[in-house]
Amino acid sequence: MRIPFGTISVTKESKKLIAEILASNRLSSGKYVREFEKKFAEVVGVTEAVAVSSGTDAIALALAVLYDFGAERGDEIILPALSFVATGNAVLQAGFTPVFVDVDRKSLNIDPSQIEKVITERTRAIIPVHLMGKPVEMDTINEIARRNNLYVIEDAAEAHGAVYKGRNVGTLGDMAAFSLYVAHIITTVEGGIVTTSNSNFAEVLRSLRSHGRACKCESCVLNTASAYCAKRFKHGNNADIRFIFERIGFSTKMNEMEAAIGIGNIYAYDDILRKRRENLYYLMEKFGEFEPYLATISKEPHEEIGPHALPIVIQENAAFTRDRFVEYLEKSGIETRNLFSSMPTQCSGFRFLGYKTGDFPNSEYVGDHGIHIGVHQDLGKQECDYFLGTVEEFLSENTQKKRKTLSLGIHCSDQACSQDQ
């Protein structure tokens, strides 16, 4: 059996729209991007969504908005040490200074109790990362931000469908950045999107994604229909609004074909979300059997986890390494990914910031001992049981005491695994 980490759903609706787009010869950002933005905003529960070319760009542009509201280059942004490196990269790309905080080992999310220790007069925002779709303790984050007059920008890259105390992730801060990369629940293959209910933020975002142009209407008639634009020369003679640049910007627009794939995914969203969540919760329920050697996150009563992937952290008393565990899974056909790294101390690109090994012990431990596996919509109970059975076999072979076999309905022997491969 093969269990790939990710998949993509390209629906019939998407294929129909792509054919129409190709026939129209209008391929760059236009009416289908606008349609995708509106539908995504409805899914999340906000009034505005601005599509861009990647999840990293989504974070960077959300941060760059802050320059219009008093921030200065070099100001500080607080974020967790443990995340996909895009979070830290985006802070630097936007011209800010990242200030890192360790995570909680159980939730894998930023430890709120450590945030106020690093706030200075140059701090402008907090980026809580809902890692693996597990919602951050947002009430505490927002209270800290309120007391210190800070913005909150959610990194919701992996948190499609996550819910915190009855509210969707993506509605819990001033802005939120989602990734639409191929492995995510709603995908445009490559892409990202910023959600907000602040129309002023949305206007600036639309300018930023197109070099900082003065053009920032929700729907541009020049882009969607080559129609007359009454605002084009409002700045006076020989002053085309398309060539007036109000701020330092980026070039991060989404194209029409990407939007078409996203629209199809939104039509299938409820079904994809249900299948993924069933897989994730089933695995989480069974995973307690693997203590004290392996651990994963848990679900709190006040939340729904965005079913991106199943994180696994090898515990201190395990008599095996991550490499040995990963090799066993991969040879059994189960694709894995490492569970990211402590950006400031395990990613050499951040060395110039001056952090040292030991500054973020929880993040560093997860960086050395964590992996994650897919729970996507092309998997079902059979694949989940195969994975659980494979883990059970590995532990039986790599722990001093033989473990009780899980009652999964299947059990993968070495011979059967080799035959399946």
For residue range 184-205, list pLDDT tens digits in order: 999 999 999 999 999 999 999 9
Contact 284, 294 (CB under 8 A): no
CATH architecture of 12-267: 3-Layer(aba) Sandwich (3.40)
CATH architecture of 270-420: Alpha-Beta Complex (3.90)
Instruction: Kindly report, residue by residue over 400-418, the tens digit of the pLDDT.
Output: 654 554 445 444 444 334 3
Mean pLDDT of 91-108: 98
Q: Residue 274 has what pLDDT?
A: 98
pLDDT confidence band for 243 (50 / 70 / 90): confident
> How is the chain split into domains, by residue range?
12-267, 270-420
Classify each residue of 358-373 as buried b or exposed e, where b means 16 or more C-beta atoms within 10 Å of its C-beta: eebebbbbbbbbbbbb
Q: Where do we find the tokens 């990362």? A: 129
Q: Compute the CA torsion angle 43, 132, 147, 89 (nearest 10 deg).
A: -100
pLDDT at 229 over 70: no
Check residues 333 and 224 and name the one with the higher pLDDT: 333
Q: Which of 18-27, 48-57, 101-110 has the lowest mean pLDDT?
A: 18-27
pLDDT confidence band for 240 (50 / 70 / 90): confident
Instruction: Kindly report, residue by residue over 26-73, the tens digit of the pLDDT.
Output: 888 889 999 999 999 999 999 999 999 999 999 999 999 999 999 999
Considering only CA atoms, which of 288, 277, 276, 280 is closest in space to residue 310? 280
Q: Between the CA of residue 329 and those of 219, 316, 386, 388, what are the distances in Å?
A: 48, 20, 11, 10
Q: Residue 72 has what pLDDT?
A: 98
Kindly report the pTM of this predicted structure. 0.91
pLDDT confidence band for 224 (50 / 70 / 90): low
Percent of the chain with pLDDT over 90: 85
